[in-house]
Amino acid sequence: MNVRKQAMTLTLNDELVEVLVKPYETLLDTLRETLGLTGPKEGCGTGDCGACTVHLDGKAVASCLVLALQARNRQVRTIEGLGTDDTLHPLQDAFVRHGVPQCGFCIPGVLMAAAALLAETPRPSDEEIRYGIAGNLCRCTGYTKMVTAIAEATAAVPQGAR
Amino acid sequence: MILPGSVKECVQALAEHGAAAKLVAGGTDLLPQLKNHLLKPGVVVDLSGVATLKKLTADKGLRIGAAVTARELERDGRLATGAYRGLAESGALVGSVQVRHLATLGGNICNAAPSADMIPPLLALDAEAVIAGPRGERRVPLRDFITGVRTTVLGADELLVELSVPDPGPHSGGAYLRHTPRRELDIAVVGVGSQVTLANGVCTKARIALAAVAPTPVHARAAERALEGQALTPQRIEEAAKLAVEAARPISDQRGSVEFRRHLVRVLTRRTLTTALARANGGQA
């Protein structure tokens, strides 16, 4: 297999980034290994667990199933770009207050899935919240606190926000 | 990795690399195969930059680009009622939301798994596959497109570009249901897509397509014939559901036994026909 790297640009957390990638490396590997953003996690590597969830052009995707080059010239947002250095995103704030994370491995993916859900459905029902995070597996504790925290954050997220 | 910007450039890349080339659209089937070393392509041709493959037009029937995603089928308002609702329902059942934003209709068809969710509703709509190759375009009825488990009529120098759905007429309804132990991120034990078209209270056309009960998705032809020309009473629907079982040639595996799958064909055929009938009559069931 050809291992010559190819250059590409993407907009990562609102900043234009140029990066060299191998032809068949995943977006997840580029984010973690080359760009140093270790928020997105590799759980299963086959799109079943949701720990690698990022936004691609505003949509929640499994970054372990995206070839890095498929993100060329597109918008990528990771958990590192959900809030700011000074202010947590309302979802992050609610997760902290409700003590949602235990080991924390699934949390970046859950937060990105929830943020994408709220962008699409600003006032989701509990059932919509559950389906919105149905692609994210948590093996510590369960989903009750997550759903409560997301429902509470819903009220704090202005319509149309990321 | 080759990054074509048009169908023509895809065809050129396939002509140059032949069987060594592997197409990637959403990547949700290809990436796990690459990671498990089930597949060692010489070169990957990425379809994500080909805009024409992402178009969905609804005008006297549907033209669906092969790279339209499951999520787009799930959420497109033009598929939300009546005739095309079964297609939207099948899109909503694929993977998780993170997978549906990537997984494409064309990928689901070309991967040709017996359990593929998005194929039965399209079979029930009499869809045609539009194929591009070095000698131009050719059209193949979808029912002839899949030839076996994970095999299709596509030559090494060809790609699927569009699914063409003929206008089902004003009083047509479709529905898709599958059985899985859990709703998300699962694979159909059995899937059934039904479509009925009515005129003056009589069924003029019935289509029933079954998934995960044979090496390829199959039509339940005897059941379809039993409905056509008839008023669709609950008794006729139940008879058709029994006949549909005869079209199933399931295997026993970890997802379900032969007996369970045959039972599911009957139940899901009855339910999808009942829902499709209500939708053909303008109901929002």
Q: Residue A15 contacts by C-beta under 8 Å, 6 or more apart in sequence? A: none
| B202-244 pLDDT, tens digit each | 999 999 999 999 999 999 999 999 999 999 999 999 999 999 9
Q: Which pLDDT does position B18 carry in this prediction?
A: 87
Residue with tokens 């699934």: A106
Q: How confident is the model at residue B183 (pLDDT cuts 50, 70, 90)?
A: confident
Domain ranges of chain A: 6-81, 90-156
Q: Which residues of B touch A45 (CB under 8 A)?
A: 32, 35
Q: How confident is the model at residue A124 (pLDDT cuts 50, 70, 90)?
A: very high
Q: Which pLDDT does position B56 carry in this prediction?
A: 98
Distance CA B28, CA B102 (A): 7
User: What's the topology of domain B7-46+56-166?
Assistant: 3.30.465
Distance CA B103, CA B88 (A): 14
pTM over 0.90: yes
Answer whether A113 sits within 8 Å of B183, measured CB to CB: no
Mean pLDDT confidence for A12-37:
97
ipTM above 0.85, yes or no: yes
What residues of B are in the A interface, CB distance below 8 Å? 1, 3, 24, 26-28, 31-32, 34-35, 40, 42-44, 46, 48-49, 71, 95-99, 101-102, 183-185
Answer whether B97 sits within 8 Å of A64, measured CB to CB: no
Domain ranges of chain B: 7-46+56-166, 188-280
Query: What DSSP assignment string belongs to B70-106?
Result: HHHHHH-GGGSSGGGHHHHHHHHHSS-HHHHTT-BHH
Quick check: helix, strand or coil at residue A47? Answer: coil
Homologous superfamily of the B188-280 domain (CATH): CO dehydrogenase flavoprotein, C-terminal domain (3.30.390.50)
Q: Which pLDDT does position B177 carry in this prediction?
A: 98
Pairing of strands B21-24, B43-46: parallel
User: What's the topology of domain A6-81?
Assistant: Ubiquitin-like (UB roll) (3.10.20)
Residue A8's DSSP bridge partners are A19
Q: How confident is the model at residue A156 (pLDDT cuts 50, 70, 90)?
A: confident
Q: Which residues of B touch A65 (CB under 8 A)?
A: 26-28, 31-32, 99, 102
Q: Which pLDDT does position B172 carry in this prediction?
A: 97
Phi-psi region of B150 (alpha: psi -120 to 50; beta: other; left: phi over 0): left
Q: Extract the tokens encoding A70.
A: 């498929």
Q: Which overall architecture, per CATH, does domain A90-156 show?
A: Orthogonal Bundle (1.10)
Residue A101 CA to chain centroid, in angstroms? Answer: 15
Distance CA A73, CA B117 (A): 32
Q: Which pLDDT does position B41 carry in this prediction?
A: 80
Distance CA B67, CA B169 (A): 26
